[in-house]
């Protein structure tokens, strides 16, 4: 079904409006899908609020059955779902399949973790007093997610919120509605009760304002840009709507002189180009020790020369397109800024005649060049030589963002120094995936508020309540 899903029914936008879904690979129109506004959002919130009155009183064991069934449905349909994700994002099928498999894992994991929303009994300082803490679901949760991982991003929040006993109104990106529809389909086929999960595909500004201003909605989980996150914070300050924000990043990678430079160089490019660089935790600034810098650059340059951009969907994986013209122009503008500031473009940066492609580029920069402070979110790999640990830590931390960071070294002492001094919510030591279903996804500074994934992700949708008895 390529429609909105409100109160258990598949429906068009209230005013009948449509969104033309454009292929980022060919620029052709793939489909016309419902495109609502604040009225659709309001209707979905009302349905979710009505359903919450019953859903909150169910047991986590009951809720788990729906989440497990949804996870199984995703696994059974992973190929078809991945095809549609690849079609609307341009990402390789290998990545699209993996995204749906992880999304299914999240639903299954929270089905089990919901059973562990433990409270505690607190020993009192008074003999006649008994006190305990319990956790209860917040209420209706709005989930607003980005286009770069249209299955994985919402799965983290939706699965956790439903497991906690909340009801959900999800707004996926209008650039990737097919993946959103498939999440709704999985929950519908799982038999989720009416109104517990609702999906809208709507105009972002008016529906976002409706979520902030509607008193029935208690929290918004948002994945997207720091700019929009700050707009939501401004609005929430007036309504006391709670927020979880997973925002932008500018991840540094510190590559010490003791590593196997050939292995790391090959891996670095692969990590950089995942989803064409459109990843919030994407490695962006590669700080490579000066003693191995030239060798690292030569290997990456050679690897880039062998890459091909192209349309994904089959078994051959190409470097895919950026999601839309705006993102393509952003990457091209960053390249121009780099050139104007004196950076060296070793290879790449060419724009395709058709589709939103930019050939991967290798940029040699200096810490003093200001373009490196902007989040890339594209296939641009920035390399900077460094000399000392103290120098590179200062450079790595010189950003408003604090999401992911990476270190590659064969010395435990060095690894510990970097890990303790990097000002980021996540530090990957000798790995490119410093996250996981069972692990907290942590952003600090301008990279976010709250947590996704892991046990911490469940707590985001639970309210703590103290119950205290006197005169016992």
**Structure confidence by residue, pLDDT tens digits, 131-162:** 999 999 999 999 999 999 999 999 999 999 99
Copy the structure tokens of residue 128. 């006649």
Regions of the chain short of the pLDDT cut 70: none
pLDDT of residue 316: 83
The owner of tokens 């950089």 is 272
3-state percent breakdown (helix, strand, coil) of the chain, nearest 5: 40, 25, 35
d(CA 45, CA 245): 20
Residue tagged 């020369």 (tokens): 305
Return the beta strands (E) in 201-318 as ranges.
Answer: 217-223, 242-246, 251-255, 283-289
- Where in the chain do CATH 3.40.309.10 domains reside? 251-436
Query: Going by CATH, does the domain composed of 4-247+447-469 fall within 3.40.605.10?
Result: yes
CB-based burial of residue 234 (10 Å sphere; 0-12 exposed, 13-18 middle, 19+ buried)? exposed
Q: What is the pTM of this model?
A: 0.96
Write down the pLDDT at residue 317: 87
Q: What would the pLDDT profile of 250-269 be if each residue is shown by its tens digit?
A: 999 999 999 999 999 999 99
Fold of 251-436: Aldehyde Dehydrogenase; Chain A, domain 2 (3.40.309)
pLDDT at 315: 78
Q: What pLDDT is stored for residue 97 in this prediction?
A: 97
* Vertex 49 angle, CA 195 and 12, to 5°: 45
Mean predicted lDDT score pLDDT of the chain:
97
Q: What is the pLDDT of residue 313?
A: 84
CB 93 within 8 A of CB 314: yes
Q: Considering the candidates 246, 375, 452, 460, report the single residue annotated as catalytic.
A: 246
Round to whole Å and give the CA distance between 192 and 184.
10
- pLDDT at residue 456, as a whole number: 96
Measure CA 263 to chain center. 28
Per-residue confidence (pLDDT) for residue 314, from 0 to 100: 80
Question: 335 to each of 25, 106, 296, how far by Cα in Å?
Answer: 21, 37, 21
Calpha distance 367→365 (Å, rounded): 7
Calculate the CA 149 to chain-centre distance: 6
Question: Would residue 27 show up in a list of annotated catalytic residues for this protein?
Answer: no
Q: What is the per-residue pLDDT for 415?
A: 97
Token digits for 450? 């709250």
According to DSSP, the β-strands at 242-246 and 448-449 are antiparallel
Sign of CA dihedral 217, 222, 225, 229: positive
Q: What is the location of CATH 3.40.605.10 in the chain?
A: 4-247+447-469
User: CB burial class (10 A; 0-12, 13-18, 19+) of residue 263?
Assistant: exposed
C-alpha 73/C-alpha 66 separation (Å) is 11
């Amino acid at each position: 079904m390529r429609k909105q899903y409100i109160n258990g029914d598949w429906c068009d936008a209230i005013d009948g409006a449509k969104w033309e879904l454009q292929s980022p690979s060919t620029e052709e129109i793939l489909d016309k899908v419902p495109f609502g506004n604040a009225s659709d959002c309001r209707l979905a919130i009302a349905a979710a609020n009505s359903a919450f009155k019953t859903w909150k009183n169910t047991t986590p064991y009951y809720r788990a059955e729906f989440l497990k069934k949804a996870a199984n449905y995703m696994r059974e349909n992973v190929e078809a779902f991945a095809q549609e994700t690849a079609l609307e994002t341009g990402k390789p099928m290998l990545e699209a399949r993996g995204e749906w498999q992880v999304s299914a894992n999240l639903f299954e994991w929270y089905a089990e973790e919901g059973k562990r929303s433990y409270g505690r009994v607190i020993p009192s300082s008074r003999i006649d007093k008994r006190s305990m803490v319990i956790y209860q679901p917040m209420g209706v949760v709005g989930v607003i997610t980005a286009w770069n991982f249209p299955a994985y991003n919402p799965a983290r929040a939706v699965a956790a919120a439903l497991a906690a006993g909340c009801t959900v109104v999800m707004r996926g990106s209008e650039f990737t509605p097919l993946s959103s529809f498939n999440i709704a389909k999985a929950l519908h086929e799982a038999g989720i009760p009416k109104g517990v999960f609702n999906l809208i595909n709507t105009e972002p500004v008016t529906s976002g304002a409706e979520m902030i201003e509607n008193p029935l909605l208690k929290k918004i989980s948002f994945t997207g840009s720091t700019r929009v996150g700050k707009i939501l914070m401004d609005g929430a300050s007036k309504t006391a709507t709670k927020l979880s924000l997973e925002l932008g990043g500018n991840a540094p990678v510190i590559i010490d002189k003791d590593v196997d430079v050939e292995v790391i160089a090959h891996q670095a490019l692969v990590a950089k180009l995942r989803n064409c660089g459109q990843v919030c935790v994407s490695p962006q600034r590669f700080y490579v020790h000066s003693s191995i810098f030239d060798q690292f650059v030569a290997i990456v340059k050679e690897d880039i020369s062998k890459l091909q951009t192209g349309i994904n969907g089959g078994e051959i994986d190409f470097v895919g397109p950026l999601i839309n013209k705006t993102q393509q122009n952003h990457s091209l503008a960053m390249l121009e800024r780099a050139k104007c500031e004196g950076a060296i473009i070793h290879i790449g940066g060419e724009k395709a005649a058709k589709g939103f492609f930019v050939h991967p580029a290798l940029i040699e920069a200096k810490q003093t060049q200001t373009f490196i402070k902007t989040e890339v979110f594209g296939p641009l790999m920035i390399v900077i030589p460094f000399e000392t640990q103290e120098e590179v830590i200062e450079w790595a931390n010189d950003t408003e963002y604090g999401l992911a960071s990476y270190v590659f070294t064969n010395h435990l002492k060095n690894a510990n120094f970097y890990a303790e001094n990097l000002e980021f919510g996540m530090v990957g030591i000798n790995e490119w995936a410093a996250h996981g279903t069972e692990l907290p996804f942590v952003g600090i500074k301008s990279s976010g508020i709250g947590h996704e994934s892991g046990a911490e992700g469940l707590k985001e949708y639970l309210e703590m309540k103290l119950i205290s008895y006197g005169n016992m």
